[in-house]
């Protein structure tokens, strides 16, 4: 996995914490964690398909929001955190059970109190499966 050196300590702490969350349950694997790009892959298996054995749109949205949330969080000062306040997704094509998808999220705008990130999810052939946009609020840690 590629991790930006400037956020290595923060990311190491994060990765140590994620033993039992939605992302790990769905099989998400981070490939790159950087301030300006997040990449992860997710299997299309019994945990991520809908009853017709194709990738569930909700699993795509969960992948997108996970990447955007972590991406916004690594850009926050120590006393702040990021929370999603809106997400949308367009599903372009189906992915049958047995494959995997790869998602890349990039910031479109990173302000002091709001971030907007965009995610593109592709199948193993590189074909676009889903595009998503997520708005995150930057708040004080509790």
The residues spanned by each domain of the chain are: 2-140
Q: How many CB atoms lie within 10 A of CB 131?
A: 16
Residue-level pLDDT at 90: 98
The predicted-structure confidence for 44-72, as pLDDT tens digits, reads as follows 999 999 999 999 999 999 999 999 999 99
Quick check: is 97 catalytic?
no
Calculate the alpha carbon distances from 62 to 8, 9, 111, 128, 142 in Å. 24, 25, 23, 17, 24
Q: Which of 8, 9, 41, 65 is catalytic?
A: 65
pTM exceeding 0.75: yes
pLDDT of residue 110: 97
3.30.70.20, 3.10.129.10, 3.30.450.20, 2.60.120.1570: CATH of 2-140: 3.10.129.10
Give CA–CA dist 108/116, Å, rounded: 5
pLDDT tops 90 at residue 5: no
Query: Residue 15 CA to chain centroid, in angstroms?
Result: 14
φ, ψ for residue 12, nearest 5 deg: -60, -45
Q: Which residue is listed with tokens 């709001």?
A: 114
Distance of CA 50 to the CA centre of its chain: 20
């Amino acid at each position: 996995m590629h991790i930006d050196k400037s956020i290595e300590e923060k990311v190491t702490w994060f990765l140590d914490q994620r033993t039992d969350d939605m992302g790990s349950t769905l099989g998400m694997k981070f490939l790159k964690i950087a301030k300006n790009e997040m990449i992860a892959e997710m299997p299309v298996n019994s945990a991520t398909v809908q009853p017709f054995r194709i990738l569930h749109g909700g699993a795509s949205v969960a992948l997108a929001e996970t990447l955007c949330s972590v991406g916004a969080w690594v850009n926050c000062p120590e006393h702040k955190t990021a929370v999603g306040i809106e997400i949308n997704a367009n599903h372009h094509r189906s992915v049958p059970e047995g494959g995997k998808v790869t998602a890349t999220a990039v910031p479109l705008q990173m302000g002091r109190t709001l971030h907007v990130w965009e995610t593109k999810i592709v199948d193993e052939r590189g074909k676009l499966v889903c595009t998503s946009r997520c708005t995150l609020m930057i708040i004080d840690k509790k």
